Structure 1
């Protein structure tokens, strides 16, 4: 018997059992019937949580829209805070490395030495990862980091390309240029463009751009859960973008497949995806005791207009009863 706030859902129940149960929850049965994770529970319900045992599985941001208990909401936010920090560290490290190459600094020598750690301490960050995260989050620019490194190492600085902010706010407006990402930033020339992994936009999605500091322009779906916060707190860094209809790019897509479990089900799904000429990056499958298999696939595809055909092909596999694209992970 577990006591929960009124209106609680299977997600609240899962986190009440254990944090890891909540984080790996992918479905639930109430009184023996498979139900939506957003279903409000009532007194006396018997709940069974369906788990994804993959190490890479985690909660969905959309759960915050219906989770009621303070514990569940806190744990979901904590999981995404950790994920955002890891992404910020990667983005910051990449941005600093790119800036080092631009000005001709010895990349491997500096990363292997203590110069960055000493600079992090000088800037009152406890470690290098905190410095990377600050750059990735836009709190400090990689350009300023490199300027401090050049000064500390006694090296001559080189002429740097104009910052993205200057390109956008400067008097000269360049004609839009095509990008390998398949996106055109309106009123801006050649800039680094990155498709956000939080919502994995593909051509056909309504999109918007966010000017990061040191990592170019990040492209989000307009309905991405992060966009509302960015527009509210950093609206001056939003920029108009549009898909390039003539671009030939590779796009990341995440889908979820729900099916009755059977022999060779995973093999049939992966073969169908391969027949559709997509590059499968990862697959995670969980199966409940009532033989319901919930699978998540991440794959790359070159022609996003072909996505509907891919979903239809998977939906036609024996035993599959639902296939959907996952946008906010």
Structure 2
């Protein structure tokens, strides 16, 4: 019976997290987009992204927004990225360029390049995305920047991935969905902890009042999540999840490249505020323990009670995560949620083990 009590307790903790996620899953779109179009700076930092820039920048420049500039930052690329940037700037006066050379103190550090780009910006409102992203609509800029005002200084958006028929693609999109559900739900609960650089807006005032990225400038990643973790509060943060506000990125096409990317991202989590680390760590740990303990309970205890506990957890999970997935237009992932969760848990555990012995040091 002790095993069953343990399994039931862990499942209850899991369901408490799902109830937290319901703050986003069942939220009504109450955020009001300003009808006034304030000047905005769109900032993109690119390293060896010539092809993606050629493909995606036209979607940025075709936004239905009357007053914005586009800051393109070449972060010491070794391909013809800067040539493409110059060609784009030649054809559109709204485009401004920053060409970053390697610096011994900040070599390979995206934050150094972003800092130079932000300093080039003329506007108080800044919207960030990546070179391999394109807006889902021509209303992206209006939707994201329209929430920035005197009180709201950070807007968290959703960075989706293109859909393909493969196990890897489903796993990438599920991990992205789960991450978004968490940071949206935590923000709705008044405890924002991260955002993604593929779709993130904040004010220059917030940036300069907090000395930019200086508290974590030595780390190769975290220009998005660590900055948000440091500066976001219950009063200055809003979320934007309308379909028109999404960005869409090209996903990795091999497990090796995706794992490398995830290894770099995960290294920043240990620098989150303690309350966030505890909450996120407990969520992962209880998910892992549930799936480890489940087969043991089936083998050594009452399979009927074990099945009942599993069914209850899955029901709560499907209702809440399914609703959230519908909000973020990831409907085709819903039938596979528990299988993708189980697979993702083992991938994350493997990454944690790998990172314990060797950590990635560059953002690209």
Question: Which TM class, normalised by the smaller chain length?
Answer: under 0.3
Greater relative contact order (Cα < 8 A, sep 6+): 2
TM-score scaled to structure 1, two decimals? Answer: 0.26
Name the one with the larger strand percent.
1
The TM-score normalised by the length of structure 2 is: 0.24
For the pair shown, the structure with the greater C-alpha radius of gyration is: 1
